[in-house]
Amino acid sequence: MLHAGTLIVFLMTAAELWVAADSRVVAIGAQQTDATTICKIHKLGAVFYAEAGLLKDTTGRFNAAAIAEQAAVGHPTVSEVAHAFEARVLMPLMDTVSQLQTLNPPYYHSHVREQAALQVAFFGAERRGLRLAIRRFFIHTEGHKRPSASIDRFDCPGDCDHAMTWAFLGGSEVLNRFLEANPRYLTEHGSRATLQRLMDLEVIAHPDLVSPPVDILQIGPEGPAWVQRKPSCPPLPPS
């Protein structure tokens, strides 16, 4: 049985990084069912990690969060952990994807093939400021060959062209349409309310994929802090 989940929303400015995550997990076997809710935001040493897509295999052969935790050992920066994760995750991810292709072909073709099967983000505050590294693992199938993967990388600073950047793991065009149609919503309502509004829109649009409660983490000048969290998201250790 595989567990898959969405949604993670990032709002990054020069001074703050906000992260919101829903709680829905879908269990994928021969059929698709609901699994228990989980925390999708993790603290791994000096770096935070968030995930969407194929999260783990309940048999223990694949666990993206556990691989991220291993990648964080001995790597104190966001970019270093992201690089180490790439090297570690590809083989078990592709084994899992091949298993899914056989186990549930309809799900594979509608949700995995030529799409991002796994989307992860590493983020945190470093001496030079806030850092965000997103990695999306796209799956490609050619004929009867074993599926292959390509990696899409998005790093801030570097790939962020503006003083304020939105980024999503999972989600749909509902989010971008709302932000484009309501350019002053963030200014008028604030970061927390805007993140909650975006989550609510996805819950309405895709109730089979996204559901509350919503966890929100803020990293600012005073350090990281939970703005809201469910009990399965552990409290942060004292800074």
Please compute Rg for the chain using Cα positions: 17
Q: Evaluate whether 36 touches 56 at the Cβ level (below 8 Å).
A: no
Residue range 4-32, pLDDT digits in tens? 888 999 999 989 999 999 998 888 765 55
Q: How far apart are CA 61 and CA 67, in angstroms?
A: 11
**Among 79, 65, 69, 11, residue whose Cα is nearest residue 45:** 69
Segment 86-94 long-range contacts (CB within 8 Å, at least 24 positions apart)? 86/135, 86/151, 89/64, 89/118, 89/137, 90/137, 90/149, 92/61, 92/62, 92/67, 93/54, 93/62, 93/64, 93/117, 93/118, 93/137, 93/149, 94/146, 94/147, 94/148, 94/149
Give the pTM. Answer: 0.93
Q: Per-residue pLDDT for the chain (239 aa), expressed as one digit of tens each?
A: 788 888 999 999 989 999 999 998 888 765 555 556 789 999 999 999 999 999 998 888 899 999 999 999 999 899 999 999 999 999 999 999 998 898 889 889 988 999 999 999 999 999 989 999 999 999 998 877 789 999 999 999 989 877 889 999 998 789 999 999 999 999 999 999 999 999 999 999 998 889 999 999 999 999 999 999 999 999 998 76
**What is the overall mean pLDDT for the chain?**
91
Place of tokens 């990032």: 10
- For domain 2-228, give the CATH superfamily: Aminohydrolase, N-terminal nucleophile (Ntn) domain (3.60.20.10)
Return left, alpha or beta for 84; rule: phi > 0 is left, psi -120 to 50 is alpha, else beta. alpha
Q: Please report, for the chain, the start and end positions of each structural domain, with discontinuous segments joined by +.
A: 2-228
